[in-house]
Amino acid sequence: MAQDRIARQCICCTSAELDRSPAVLMPFVAKRVFGHEPVQITEEWGLRDLQSGMAYTLCASLQCQRCGALFLDYRFSDAEMMSLYQGYRDERYNRERQRFEPGYAATVEHYEGRAGYIADVERWLEPRLPANPAVLDWGGDSGINTPLLGRSRLTHVYDISTVAPLPGVEAVDLETIKRHDYDLITCSQVLEHVPYPLALLAQIAESLHADTLLYLEVPHEALIRNNPGSKQLAGLKRHWHEHINFYTEQSLRELVSQAGLQVQEFMHLDVDLGWRNGTLLGLLAKRA
């Protein structure tokens, strides 16, 4: 699939039938990714054909008319992804974000420590897995939210961040992954951030052996949840932040099948995140 700068195809099912509507890229993301700052266009600019007013980084909301995936038109490069996520939630990151989003600092504490809902995910996963499984968490940071941590015979994490892994977790590279046969590979809360989810999934699929289960998890965003089946969401999505892809159940299923995998089970999980309620979409897949 083409890796266009501005998406011309659905990021899940590759359909070119996309509905489009104007939106803004939130200033914090625009600053980190493009170096843009919001600016007041005034008479002094001397631009004869432009009106004065506040200018923000413009973008578009696209919705696939086939599978319902709703996404930002910009697809960030590797270097832009690095600048967006460098030092994620460290002191400098939080300070910069607080400048654009007053009140952000107060929410940061909610992301510290292991998320409570992981126990619900584990309850769903455990009966479907062999005892004492070998687990790889793709994009799992330090392993802080890796399912079955402490109950698996091996926990590997593959992540572009350079955060130190927790005790009992081993950070691995792609070569090490190739040498292992995992019972479970998880990729949680990642696909909503990445520019080319299909390319990522195809890469993960290469690490799956015949019996390996892949667990994928994304947020079931409120706009999708509250408008089931709607293909008219582009005009309702007026801003984009770090979640650049909003998934429907159908779009996730398409993504999995495009990557040569087969969905085994699908779940909608209501979770109490401690400070707000949310819903997750989760699925288990295997090689087709």
Footprint on this chain of Zn ion (rule: CB under 5 A): 10, 12-13, 15, 64, 66-67, 69
What lies within 8 Å, CB to CB, of 33 at 6+ separation is 25, 76, 80, 83, 84
Pick between residue 137 and residue 254 the one whose CB is nearest to Zn ion: 254
Closer residue to Zn ion in complex, CB, 70/84: 70
Give CA 89 to chain center in angstroms. 16
CB of 64 to Zn ion, least distance (A): 3
CB of 248 to Zn ion, least distance (A): 9
User: Least distance from C-beta 246 to Zn ion, angstroms?
Assistant: 12
Three-point CA angle 283, 228, 4, nearest 5°: 70
Rank residues 149 and 263 by Cβ distance to Zn ion and give the closer one. Answer: 263
* Other Cβ atoms closer than 10 A to 210: 7
Q: CB of 30: closest distance to Zn ion in angstroms? A: 26
Distance between CA atoms of residues 231 and 285, nearest Å:
26
The amino acid occupying position 43 is: E
CB nearer Zn ion, residue 66 or residue 237: 66
- 219: Cβ–Cβ under 8 A, 6 or more apart, which residues? 189, 192, 243, 278, 279, 280, 281
User: Based on CB atoms, which residue is closest to Zn ion, 143 or 195?
Assistant: 195
Q: How far is the CB of 5 from Zn ion (least distance, A)?
A: 19
CA 86 – CA 138 distance, rounded (Å): 18
State the nearest-atom distance from the C-beta of 240 to Zn ion, in Å: 18
Residue 53: CB minimum distance to Zn ion, A: 35
Closer CB to Zn ion, residue 240 or residue 247?
Answer: 247
Alpha-helical regions (H) of 12-76: 27-34
Closest by CA to 188, choosing from 260, 118, 103, 278, is 118
Do residues 13 and 201 touch, judged by C-beta distance below 8 A? no
Calpha distance 190→22 (Å, rounded): 25
Shortest distance (Å) from residue 87 CB to Zn ion: 33
- Which residue, 133 or 197, has its beta carbon nearer to Zn ion? 197
Instruction: Give the total residue count for the chain.
Output: 288
The amino acid present at 282, given as its one-letter code, is: G
Please, which residue, 12 or 115, has the CB nearer to Zn ion?
12
| Strand (E) or helix (H) holding 97 | helix 91-100
Angle at 116 between CA 114 and CA 117, to 5 degrees: 115
